[in-house]
């Protein structure tokens, strides 16, 4: 499959607002990965390091559909190390990590899940006989050997809830501690399509086009607001007075106008997305999440976020 076609399939709903018939990464994208794999006998080597987060992104990946998780592992990625998914523990796991990082230096994709705490006492990711290795040290070591670095989730991408006020661990985004370009696949948690689609692009075509916050434009090219099913209510000035009503939820604190992601047409796990489930978008993909979204359920202009309701269309 040509890259242009892949991009078209990933973005296929950008003109549609309510098509539930194909809202996950399509079977076509999956079969493209399948045929690429058959031709090239190649998977993307991945080392996955979890630092400081809630673990929600690996749970999200476990829920991937089309492709299901077994096919992600069998056909798309060669998972060399993951402290969540692997059976080995302790010294055995660390030996596997060291061997994989050396064997595949310059080839593997480093996936980091979680923010990087700069205060050491919040930061140990593993311990050897001789030393405690902090998240900062591990990410710098592995980032220096990796071909690509992918930050999965908003903590890794931008600091997220881990770095939220008062940020006692002094946590920062992965990109703040590495010199190389980091691909940010934000979300709290990430939509599995965004992550799997980014890895598929890396395998078949290399680095995807990124926006100014280094997120793949494939998935973060437009605001939630642009394709929201309630947009006509917004345009006509019809706002919900209470949660659960069918009108636009800008009045209830929806930050869809300043949030980039394709939730309205991609949906989550074939099921639904926040606004359709009667809850405002809280901006979980944003660089300023969660501090820039709080207090939740308060209209944007009152949060002082600099977004003006009138006269702006995205």
Pairing state between β 148-152 and 109-113 = parallel
- For position 199 contacting ligand F3S by CB under 6 A, the verdict is no
Kindly state the smallest distance separating residue 231's Cβ from ligand SF4, in Å. Answer: 4
Closest among 3, 27, 10, 62 to 194, alpha carbons compared:
10
When CB distances are held under 5 to 8 angstroms depending on the partner's kind, the choice from ligand SF4, ligand F3S, none that residue 273 binds is ligand F3S
Binding to ligand SF4 in span 240-269, by CB under 6 A = 248-250, 254, 256-257
Residue 285 has, within 13 A of its CA and on its CB side, a CA count of 28
- For the chain, the straight-line distance linking the first and the last C-alpha, in angstroms and rounded, comes to 31
When CB distances are held under 5 to 8 angstroms depending on the partner's kind, the choice from ligand SF4, ligand F3S, none that residue 289 binds is none
Kindly state the smallest distance separating residue 261's Cβ from ligand F3S, in Å. Answer: 4
- For position 223 contacting ligand F3S by CB under 6 A, the verdict is no
When CB distances are held under 5 to 8 angstroms depending on the partner's kind, the choice from ligand F3S, ligand SF4, none that residue 197 binds is none
Kindly state the smallest distance separating residue 117's Cβ from ligand F3S, in Å. Answer: 24
- For position 185 contacting ligand F3S by CB under 6 A, the verdict is no
Closest among 249, 195, 158, 187 to 76, alpha carbons compared:
195
Among residues 151, 259, 265, 299, the one that binds ligand F3S under rule CB under 6 A: 259
- For position 190 contacting ligand F3S by CB under 6 A, the verdict is no
The sign of the dihedral angle between the CA atoms of 219, 224, 225, 231 is positive
Choice between 141 and 222, CB closer to ligand SF4 = 222
Among residues 109, 169, 267, 285, the one that binds ligand F3S under rule CB under 6 A: 285
The sign of the dihedral angle between the CA atoms of 108, 139, 198, 88 is positive
- For position 281 contacting ligand F3S by CB under 6 A, the verdict is yes
* DSSP alpha helix (H) spans, the chain: 3-10, 27-40, 56-62, 69-71, 90-103, 135-145, 154-158, 192-205, 217-220, 224-227, 231-235, 263-266, 300-303
Closest among 141, 182, 142, 137 to 159, alpha carbons compared:
182
When CB distances are held under 5 to 8 angstroms depending on the partner's kind, the choice from ligand SF4, ligand F3S, none that residue 36 binds is none
- For position 231 contacting ligand SF4 by CB under 6 A, the verdict is yes
Choice between 55 and 206, CB closer to ligand F3S = 55
Among residues 200, 275, 282, 284, the one that binds ligand SF4 under rule CB under 6 A: 275
As a residue count, the chain comes to 314
Kindly give the interhelix angle for 192-205 and 3-10, rounded to the nearest 10 degrees.
170
Element of type H or E holding 44:
strand 44-50
Among residues 225, 258, 260, 266, the one that binds ligand SF4 under rule CB under 6 A: 225
Give residues in contact with ligand SF4 (CB under 6 A): 224-225, 228, 230-231, 234, 248-250, 254, 256-257, 275, 281
Give residues in contact with ligand F3S (CB under 6 A): 224, 259, 261, 263, 273-274, 281-285
């Amino acid at each position: 499959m040509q890259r242009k076609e892949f991009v078209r399939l990933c973005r296929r709903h950008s003109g549609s607002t309510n098509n539930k018939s194909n809202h996950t990464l399509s079977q076509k994208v999956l079969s493209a990965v399948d045929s690429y794999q058959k031709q090239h006998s190649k998977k993307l080597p991945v080392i996955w390091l979890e630092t400081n987060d809630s673990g929600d992104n690996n749970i999200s990946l476990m829920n991937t559909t089309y492709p299901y998780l077994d096919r992600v592992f069998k056909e798309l990625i060669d998972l060399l190390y993951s402290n969540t998914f692997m059976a080995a523990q302790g010294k055995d796991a660390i030996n596997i990590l060291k061997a994989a990082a050396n064997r595949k230096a310059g080839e593997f994709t480093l996936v980091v899940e979680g923010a990087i705490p700069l205060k050491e006492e919040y930061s140990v990711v593993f311990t050897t006989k001789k030393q405690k290795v902090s998240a900062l040290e591990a990410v710098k070591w592995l980032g220096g050997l990796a071909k690509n670095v992918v930050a999965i989730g908003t903590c890794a991408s931008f600091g997220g809830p881990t770095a939220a006020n008062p940020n006692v661990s002094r946590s920062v985004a992965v990109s703040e501690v590495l010199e190389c370009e980091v691909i940010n696949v934000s979300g709290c948690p990430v939509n599995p399509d965004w992550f799997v689609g980014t890895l598929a692009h890396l395998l078949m075509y290399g680095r995807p086009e990124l926006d100014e916050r280094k997120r793949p434009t494939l998935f973060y090219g437009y605001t939630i607001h642009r394709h929201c099913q309630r947009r006509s209510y917004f345009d006509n000035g019809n706002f919900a007075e209470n949660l659960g009503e069918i009108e636009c939820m800008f009045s209830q604190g929806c930050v869809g106008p300043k949030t980039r992601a394709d939730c309205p047409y991609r949906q989550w796990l074939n099921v639904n997305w926040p606004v359709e489930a009667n809850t405002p978008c809280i901006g979980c993909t944003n660089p300023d999440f969660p501090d820039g979204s709080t207090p939740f359920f308060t209209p944007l202009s009152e949060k002082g976020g600099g977004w003006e309701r009138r006269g702006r269309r995205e």
